Amino acid sequence: MHITVIGTGYVGLVVGAGMAHSGHDVICADIDEDKIERLKRGEIPIYEPGLEPLVEENLEQGRLSFTTDVPGAVRASDVLFIAVGTPPDEDGSADLQHVIAVAETIGRSMNDDKIVITKSTVPVGTAARVREAIEANTQHTVHVCSNPEFLKEGDAVDDFMKPDRVVLGVDSEEAATVLRDLYAPFVRTGNDILLMDIASAELTKYAANAMLATRISFINAIARVCEAAGADVDMVRRGVGSDGRIGPSFLFPGVGYGGSCFPKDVKALIRTSRDLGIDPTILQAVEDTNQEQKALILRRVIDRFGEDLGGRTFAVWGLAFKPNTDDMREAPSLVTIEGLLERGARIVAHDPAAMEEAHRILGDRIELRDVNYDALPGASALLIHTEWHPYRRPDFERIGTSLSKKVIIDGRNLYSPDRMHELGFEYHSVGRRPVGIPHSETIAG
């Protein structure tokens, strides 16, 4: 089958490379000339494990190509995926200008009947707008379908190649037949292809991400109760997660969620609910809880060292919003860093993947180190934001001798409080009692 994917961002690249790997001829089209030239050389503009070799292999085999000629790519294919960005607008709604612009280009470029699939995360009713934009510019028949993506950053290739489920919102049996055939190689182990109406498919993605975000905000709210009550959130989490009706997934306390999906999708679903006359009380609470949680490490630093942080250095381990990605969109680390800089602190940071992205966002306002231990010398505390594997079993003796004060503020609960106490650290985590607090020091000691 001849397929065009319009948009070479995170979703578009994974979809294009994955479809090519299953034997289809795939064109990935984008108007960004620099990005396309890099992709033609096999250079991947994002950090995603497994994606680079997948692109390289299919480029070499001739199944995958890249172009800036979007109209030509439309004419060359039978099935078209729209995979452009839908950033949040000022009111929280999804900005659909790029999706509609692509739809208009498709309409003007069509030379025969096409199946057009919205892969971008879009609110209910977008497919109807896409169809209207296409049909206003062509006399050919178009089948507009919704096929939301469920790709986790850091695991996107596996998620695409071995999906839990494939959700297809279709407008005709003809489109259903083509899409079932398209995805058949990816569900050979028996996972579901779920056919449904387009509106339900569009809403499924938002509902899924909102549910996961809700679990994260819920356990973070419980963590606050644990701290106030003297309980241990790890014990509570295990007790709750062992209930078969609930399960343990996404019940890990921390400094909140970030990235390109959860924050944007929760905001968009809040806006959609209000537009439909529905009070989004639960969703708004999820969003508000997360915003407060993202400031947790900053509050802990201020509580421990005071508002005036001039002359102090803080080491930051982890800048990306989660491991196995360089994505810093909505990352909790940014809340901490901006707050510390405002109070006069010096920041020295490390991340296994997000150093270039951190420099792009923060410039020379913070110092970056290629080795995580090199961020420690002279720092008043180590602040942990991302649960990268190299941070999970570090050399604590080296940490203790490098820091000016043996203080760790851990936003991901990587270490045992008992072990930290044995090693002589002052250790603050999430939803657990702090250990090693020096009674002889003032709050700004």
For residue 13, give the amino acid letter. L
Residues 225 and 181 in one domain: no
The Cα 360–Cα 364 span in angstroms is 9
From first to last of its 445 residues, what are the pLDDT tens digits of the chain? 999 999 999 899 999 999 999 999 999 999 999 999 999 998 898 889 999 999 999 999 999 999 999 999 999 999 999 999 888 777 777 889 999 999 999 999 999 999 999 998 888 999 999 999 999 999 999 999 999 999 998 999 999 999 999 999 998 999 999 999 999 999 987 778 999 999 999 999 999 999 999 999 999 999 999 999 999 999 999 999 999 999 999 999 999 999 988 999 999 999 999 999 999 999 999 999 999 999 999 999 999 999 999 999 999 999 999 999 999 999 999 999 999 999 999 999 999 999 999 999 999 999 999 999 999 999 999 999 999 999 999 999 999 999 999 999 999 999 999 999 999 999 999 999 999 987 545 443 3
Residues 413 and 270 in one domain: no
- Among 196, 213, 248, identify where a domain stops: 196
Asked if 370 contacts 406 with a C-beta cutoff of 8 angstroms, the reply is: no
Domain holding 367, by residue range, is: 294-428
The Cα 29–Cα 62 span in angstroms is 15
CATH of the domain at 302: 3.40.50.720
Give me the residue label for tokens 């044995």: 422
Residue 228 CB coordination number (10 Å): 8
Is 438 inside any structural domain?
Answer: no
Residues 303 and 419 in one domain: yes
Query: Residue 67 belongs to what H/E stretch?
Result: strand 64-67
- Among 264, 292, 320, identify where a domain stops: 292
Give me the residue label for tokens 């709210």: 221
The Cα 168–Cα 183 span in angstroms is 10
Residues 280 and 334 in one domain: no
Query: 0.85 cut: is pTM over it?
Result: yes
Is 444 inside any structural domain?
Answer: no
Residues 253 and 233 in one domain: yes
Residues 221 and 308 in one domain: no
- Among 196, 228, 255, identify where a domain stops: 196
For the chain, how many structural domains are there in total? 3
Q: What is the pLDDT of residue 439?
A: 57
Residues 298 and 357 in one domain: yes
Is 48 inside any structural domain?
Answer: yes
Is 361 inside any structural domain?
Answer: yes
Is 67 inside any structural domain?
Answer: yes
Is 332 inside any structural domain?
Answer: yes
The Cα 94–Cα 100 span in angstroms is 12
What is the side-by-side strand order in the sheet with 346-350?
Answer: 367-368, 346-350, 313-317, 381-384, 407-410, 426-428
CATH of the domain at 241: 1.10.1040.10
Is 43 inside any structural domain?
Answer: yes
Residue 197 token pair: 């109406």
Residue 149 CB coordination number (10 Å): 22
Given phi > 0 = left and psi -120 to 50 = alpha, else beta, which region is 329?
Answer: beta
Is 440 inside any structural domain?
Answer: no
Residues 309 and 419 in one domain: yes
Residue 308 CB coordination number (10 Å): 12
Q: What is the pLDDT of residue 129?
A: 95
Residues 98 and 231 in one domain: no
Length of the chain: 445
Residues 112 and 238 in one domain: no
Query: Residue 145 belongs to what H/E stretch?
Result: strand 142-146
Residues 306 and 390 in one domain: yes
Residues 185 and 238 in one domain: no
What residues are annotated to the active site?
261
